[in-house]
A = this chain, B = another copy of it.
């Protein structure tokens, strides 16, 4: 790797898109995670797929590491350029290339985020459902990590909602995967291979997405519980009942306190709480909500409360999306280590309760939120990455949690990805798969220039 040469060659082609300014490098030294930052050698601001192609060709020639950077909201060190090199920032690539309203699909550049996309779609009566906590998360980054969010219980994850991709490969070639058909059996599914590949197999520059019609009727509800068990059991029963709920989110009392403070929520109690949303016709949402209310009551739910006005509903979900930032605001100088296990729904109560016990035994106060309809929850453990003792203790809690989830048939990551920090857990979860993933990595990126040190160790 000759980074000087790479920088000079890129400059000679696209001088005004390359920066080595220290502030810029610092902004690209980490995501929203707890890993110690590392500066890239330079940041390239891409405007087009062919920009990226040119830069990758130079990096390939000089064996310079390349890290793709969407909006930097990831939580497992994906955008941390652990071996330096060039970070390619895609945030300028914000074009919505086409919207096919009749076919319920669209094509966007990687830098588009869901707020921008949904603002654009609203007039057409359409929306894109996948909604990770970070509203600014780019669609490219969401694809690279197989993100999901609060709507996944009804609408699925990125894997269910991406139809095709444009990707720049490690050798600089450009490929187009998938298409616009709603289903296809045409060969190996490379689209799904790139979803969740975290920038290690290629750089995603365009995404074809499925869209949905905005439901005729949307209603939300909030329900408090005296115990976490009551709230968790409600969500389990609702899923097992087969109720087609659009969102069912658990917020524990530590997080409720943080969110009430941060998001200025009113008329809401500091108790374990479920947020619901129902999509459909007016009749069907009413019917769904009645069933949900009944199941909640049977599990000790109190004051099943409607948020029928759009503003009231938006406030609620904005608060839910801001949970991570509300949690961080508890201790402004700290970072957060977010756990991300996902377990079969019948094990969810046990998994959460065991984990809460572990936190208590170690005197850790950590907010918890959960996409409980999917069996996925996050404990946001506030930490000082420079405090080794604290970090060791929290990592042990996470370690026990991951192993608990794996024993239950679950996964170490429901939606955040492996990145830097979960490589050892990937080996535990999929011991027979690592060598095959390594083969794919080596084939697609023989010089290991694409986001090295993420997901798996490069096979030597």
Residues of chain A touching chain B, judged by Cβ–Cβ distance below 8 Å, are 100, 102-105, 145-148, 152, 156-157, 159-160, 169, 173-177, 179-190, 192-193, 195-197, 201, 212-213, 215, 236, 239-242, 244, 280-281, 283-284, 287, 342-346, 374-376, 409-418, 422, 425-426, 429-430, 432-433, 436-437, 439-441, 443-444, 455-456
Q: Are the C-beta atoms of B192 and A411 separated by less than 8 Å?
A: no
Question: A432 touches which one: B173, B185, B410, B416 (CB < 8 A)?
Answer: B173
CB pair B192–A159 under 8 Å, yes or no, is: yes
The reply to whether A439 and B443 contact each other, CB–CB distance below 8 Å, is yes
Q: CB-CB < 8 A to A280: which residues of B?
A: 244, 284
For residue A422, which residue of chain B has the nearest CB?
Answer: B186
Give, as a whole number of angstroms, the nearest-CB distance from A140 to chain B: 15
Are A344 and B187 in contact (CB-based, < 8 A)?
Answer: no
User: In the bound complex, do residue B185 and residue A196 qualify as a contact, i.e. CB atoms below 8 Å apart?
Assistant: yes
**Looking at the complex, which one of B156, B175, B455 makes contact with A187 (CB distance below 8 Å)?**
B455
Given contacts A181-B342, A185-B196, A186-B413, 7 further A-B contacts (CB under 8 A): A181-B376, A182-B376, A187-B433, A187-B456, A213-B242, A244-B244, A436-B444
Residue of B nearest to A190 (CB): B433
Shortest A10–chain B CB gap in Å is 25
Can you give 9 contacting A-B residue pairs, CB < 8 Å? A146-B184, A179-B411, A181-B376, A188-B455, A190-B436, A192-B192, A212-B242, A280-B284, A440-B443
Sort A-B residue pairs by CB-CB distance and give the 4 closest, nearest first. A213-B242, A180-B409, A192-B192, A184-B411
Tell me the bound Cα distance from A283 to B415 in angstroms.
35
A192 cross-chain contacts in B, Cβ below 8 A? 159, 189, 192-193
Contact B184 A342 (CB under 8 A): yes
Whether the Cβ atoms of A185 and B415 lie closer than 8 Å is yes
A374 proximity list for chain B (CB < 8 A): 182-183
Which residues of the partner chain B approach A433 to less than 8 Å between Cβ atoms? 175-177, 187-188, 190
Q: In the complex, A146 Cα to B185 Cα: how many Å?
A: 6
Decide if A185 touches B413 in the complex (CB within 8 Å).
yes
Residues A345 and B190 in contact, CB atoms below 8 Å apart? no
- Cα separation A414 to B430 with both chains bound (whole Å): 31
Find chain B residues with CB under 8 A from A145 CB.
185
- Most B CB contacts (10 A, CB to CB) among A174, A436, A439 go to A436
What is the minimal beta-carbon distance from A39 to any residue of chain B, in angstroms? Answer: 27
Residues of chain B with a CB closer than 8 A to A376's CB: 181-183
Q: A411-B186, A414-B184, A418-B187 are in contact. Are A102 and B346 (CB under 8 A)?
A: yes
Give the chain B neighbours of A179 by CB distance below 8 A.
Answer: 409-411, 429
Query: Closest CB of chain B to A78's CB: distance in Å?
Result: 11
Q: What is the distance, in angstroms, from A452's C-beta to the closest C-beta of chain B? A: 15
Residue of B nearest to A157 (CB): B183
A183 touches B456 (CB 8 A): no
A440 touches B182 (CB 8 A): no
- Name the CB-closest residue of B to A213: B242
Residue contact B103 to A346, C-beta cutoff 8 Å: yes
Residue in A145, A241, A244, A416 whose Cβ sees the most chain B Cβ within 10 Å? A244
Task: Tell me the smallest distance from the CB of A200 to a CB of chain B, in Å.
Answer: 9
Q: Is the CB of B418 within 8 A of A186?
A: yes
In the bound complex, how far is the Cα of B156 from the Cα of A199, in angstroms?
28
